[in-house]
């Protein structure tokens, strides 16, 4: 397993670092971190995604003809790692970038690719994922939202829940049942649904934090053009598996970077806090727990590199 990066990959890392240093607000990632004045969080994240796109740092693996970079998996991993190390915010259209876009690239028609992909990258159109339902949860195959084909349109009725970003989304990756008589996994279809169309109702779910990241979404006689069917009719399960596979992407190295920062902060905190007149690091139990944290962090790092090496081979 080769853990080294080529000179070209190191130059790419330096480009990402320079971009983040030049474009993140002053003090970002510290206790002084603040949003720019008179900008809401949504506006800030939309502008941040636009900067990333214009800087050539989004759609890393996407074809250039649709606005992507045709970059390698290693460059994707480097980008994710540097984003984590700089504590940079994720783009607003994260679900579009990590799930909708790759799924459209894999299963979409040329017309669908031309229609949707560049607007996902630029954050002109935001996406949400309509899979989970009140009585289905993670058992996607048991969903009940129906779509009946009527001429050149599907008529959709049903409900989704825990739908992240639905309150600001323009489009939805919607998994529906189109053949109620088929086996559960074989009667599903995958639709691209306009969230601003008649019959779509979004109700934010307020969390204990006061935020409303998740939503309920209701579909009442919502008409979806057949041209917005992604993949074949009743082939939605296969398309959905593509979506769920791309949800993970090359984020493992970014996760390692975030855990490493948490470890470093824990060590610094233990050196600063005093217990019984001495730094907490003088306590054998604290040292033992920090050592275990470090061992598990190293296991996580090398496991991630090993898996990533397998992906590249």
Whether 292 contacts 248, CB under 8 Å: no
For the chain, what is the total number of helices (H) and then of strands (E)?
A: 9, 10
> Which one of 211, 220, 247, 265 is the catalytic residue?
247
Q: Which residues pair with 217 in a beta bridge?
A: 160, 202
Closest CA to 213 of 99, 42, 31: 42
Whether 80 contacts 250, CB under 8 Å: yes
Look up 247 and say whether it is catalytic.
yes
Strands 127-130 and 171-177: parallel
Q: What are the CB-based long-range contacts (under 8 Å, 24+) for 237-243?
A: 237/141, 237/185, 237/186, 237/188, 239/103, 239/107, 239/190, 240/131, 240/140, 240/175, 240/188, 240/190, 242/102, 242/103, 242/106, 242/107, 243/99, 243/100, 243/102, 243/103, 243/129, 243/173
Number of Cβ within a 10 Å radius of residue 126 = 25
* Helices 252-272, 73-85: inter-axial angle, 10-degree rounding: 20
Q: Give the active site residues.
A: 247
């Amino acid at each position: 397993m080769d853990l080294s990066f080529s000179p070209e990959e190191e130059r790419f890392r330096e480009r990402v670092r320079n971009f983040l240093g030049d474009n993140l607000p002053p003090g970002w990632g510290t206790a002084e971190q603040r949003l720019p004045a008179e900008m809401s969080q949504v506006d800030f994240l939309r502008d941040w995604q636009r900067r990333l796109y214009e800087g050539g740092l989004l759609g890393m693996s996407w074809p250039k003809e649709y606005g992507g970079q045709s970059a390698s998996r290693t460059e994707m991993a480097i980008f994710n790692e540097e984003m984590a190390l700089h504590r940079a915010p994720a783009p607003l259209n994260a679900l579009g970038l990590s799930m909708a876009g790759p799924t459209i690239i894999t299963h979409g028609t040329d017309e669908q690719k031309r229609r949707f992909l560049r607007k996902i990258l630029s954050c002109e159109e935001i996406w949400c994922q309509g899979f989970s339902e009140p009585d289905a949860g993670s058992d996607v195959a048991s969903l009940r939202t129906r779509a009946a084909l009527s001429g050149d349109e599907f008529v959709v009725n049903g409900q989704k829940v825990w739908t992240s970003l639905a309150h600001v989304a323009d489009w939805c990756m919607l998994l529906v049942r189109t053949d109620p008589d088929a086996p559960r996994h074989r009667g599903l279809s995958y639709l691209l649904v306009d969230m601003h169309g008649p019959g779509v109702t979004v109700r934010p779910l307020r969390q204990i934090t006061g935020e409303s990241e998740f939503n309920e979404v209701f579909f009442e006689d919502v008409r979806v053009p057949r041209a917005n069917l992604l993949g074949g009719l009743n082939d939605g399960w296969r398309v959905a598996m593509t979506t769920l596979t791309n949800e993970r992407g090359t984020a493992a190295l970014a996760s390692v970077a975030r855990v490493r920062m948490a470890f470093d902060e824990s060590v610094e905190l233990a050196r600063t806090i005093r217990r019984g007149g001495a730094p907490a690091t003088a306590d054998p139990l604290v040292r033992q727990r920090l050592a275990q944290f470090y061992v598990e962090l190293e296991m996580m790092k090398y496991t991630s590199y090993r898996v990533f090496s397998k992906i590249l081979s």
